[in-house]
């Protein structure tokens, strides 16, 4: 008996072992995301510009709106790393503060688009029929216009300002999220747990916002990240046309517009704001592609 007792294998808890092997979908997505070097590079770029935007008053060497005509169009130097503009303002300082404007406009406009578009998409996909037809036709009408032209039209009606540019950018992105969520809801509402929720008498509002919408979050996150990059470009385009941020606000698109006449005489006034836009948009695009690969089961091996 002692020998048998000595050879008895240790008792294990199969449930605990299974729990250790279970990996949550979000943790699995994070592991996949970390393996993508380009996605991680994009995330670091985005984090870098967000950090700059947060601590702008602490790291900016000068005030962004103080003009010194004696320092007009100074080339990059130890005193002014990125040179100065036509009013003698430090370009590095204006780019640092401009990060606040561009990222703020991108994130807030996309957040508004996600809230409105997702709500309309959920309602259209879940209820269908007449409601779906009306909402879908509204989306089709908005998408029939080129996005930048529609944004210009909206800002022209509301008046040139950063706030109105934000509203215009949010409006043109609503159908993108609405159609994305609608298509996801059409597949999710056929699942058995939705039928079970209806069978036990759960209200539609609870089903929509506790079951349907949370299971549609993955594509929303991916599209939202990519949409921020597009929103930053659209904000810069509106600023370049004089329809976005107004002087002396240091918005990157407006900086390009103010410097377009000095490309040959002072190229640094155009190069550095353009690089800021390019790197920020590149960071969001790389991060969005990485999130798509990590969250979409079809993209996994």
Question: Per-residue confidence of the chain (301 residues) as pLDDT tens digits?
Answer: 444 444 555 544 544 444 444 456 667 777 888 888 898 999 999 999 999 999 999 999 998 888 888 889 999 999 899 999 989 999 999 999 999 999 999 999 999 999 999 889 888 888 878 888 999 999 999 999 988 899 999 999 998 888 999 999 999 999 999 998 888 888 777 777 777 777 777 777 777 777 777 777 778 888 898 899 999 999 999 988 888 888 888 889 989 988 888 888 899 999 999 999 999 999 999 998 888 887 765 555 5
Q: Report the C-alpha gap between 77 and 60 in whole angstroms.
A: 16
Per-residue pLDDT at 273: 93
Per-residue pLDDT at 211: 72
Helix count and strand count (H, E) for the chain: 14, 0
**How would you classify residue 62: left for phi > 0, otherwise alpha for psi between -120 and 50, otherwise beta?**
beta
Question: Quick check: pTM over 0.85?
Answer: no
Q: What is the DSSP letter of 243?
A: S
Pick 30-55+92-299's CATH classification: 3.30.9.10, 2.60.40.2480, 3.40.50.1000, 1.10.3720.10.
1.10.3720.10
Per-residue pLDDT at 24: 66
What is the SS3 assignment for 149? helix
Q: Report the C-alpha gap between 182 and 19 in whole angstroms.
A: 34
Q: What is the DSSP letter of 209?
A: I
Q: Report the C-alpha gap between 9 and 171 in whole angstroms.
A: 65
What is the rounded end-to-end Cα distance, in angstroms, of the chain?
51
Per-residue pLDDT at 1: 44
Per-residue pLDDT at 108: 94
263 close to 256: Cβ distance less than 8 angstroms: no
**Residue 173: both structure tokens together:** 């992105």
Per-residue pLDDT at 175: 93
Per-residue pLDDT at 187: 79
- Angle subtended by helix axes 37-54 and 25-35, to nearest 10: 100
Per-residue pLDDT at 22: 45
Per-residue pLDDT at 190: 72
What is the SS3 assignment for 68? coil
DSSP E strands, 37-175: none
178 close to 223: Cβ distance less than 8 angstroms: no
Determine the distance from the C-alpha atom of residue 43 to the mean position of all C-alpha atoms in its chain, rounded to a whole number: 12
Give the CA dihedral 220, 225, 226, 231, nearest 10 degrees: 110
């Amino acid at each position: 008996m002692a020998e048998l007792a000595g050879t008895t294998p240790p008792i294990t808890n199969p449930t605990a072992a299974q729990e250790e092997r279970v990996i949550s979908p979000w943790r699995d997505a994070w592991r996949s995301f970390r393996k993508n070097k380009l996605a991680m590079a994009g995330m670091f770029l985005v984090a870098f510009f967000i950090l700059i935007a947060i601590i702008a008053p602490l790291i900016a060497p000068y005030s962004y709106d103080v003009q010194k005509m004696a320092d007009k169009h100074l080339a990059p130097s130890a005193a002014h790393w990125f040179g100065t503009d036509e009013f003698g303002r430090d370009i590095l300082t204006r780019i640092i503060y401009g990060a606040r404007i561009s990222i703020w406009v991108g994130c807030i406009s996309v957040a508004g688009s996600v809230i409105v578009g997702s709500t309309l998409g959920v309602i259209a996909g879940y209820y269908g029929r007449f409601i779906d037809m009306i909402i879908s036709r509204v989306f089709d009408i908005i998408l029939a216009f080129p996005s930048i032209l529609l944004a210009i039209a909206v800002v022209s009606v509301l008046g040139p300002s950063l706030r109105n540019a934000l509203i215009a950018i949010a409006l043109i992105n609503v159908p993108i999220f609405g159609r994305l969520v609608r298509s996801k809801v059409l597949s999710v509402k056929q699942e058995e747990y939705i039928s079970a929720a209806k069978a036990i008498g759960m209200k539609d509002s609870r089903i929509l916002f506790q079951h349907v919408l949370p299971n549609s979050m993955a594509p929303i996150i991916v599209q939202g990240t990519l949409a921020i990059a597009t929103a930053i470009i659209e904000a810069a385009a509106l600023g370049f046309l004089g329809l976005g941020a107004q002087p002396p606000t240091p918005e990157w698109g407006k900086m390009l517009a103010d410097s377009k006449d000095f490309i040959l005489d002072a190229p640094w006034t155009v190069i550095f704001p353009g690089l800021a836009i390019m790197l920020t948009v590149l960071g969001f695009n790389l991060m969005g592609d990485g999130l798509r690969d990590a969250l979409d089961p079809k993209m996994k091996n």
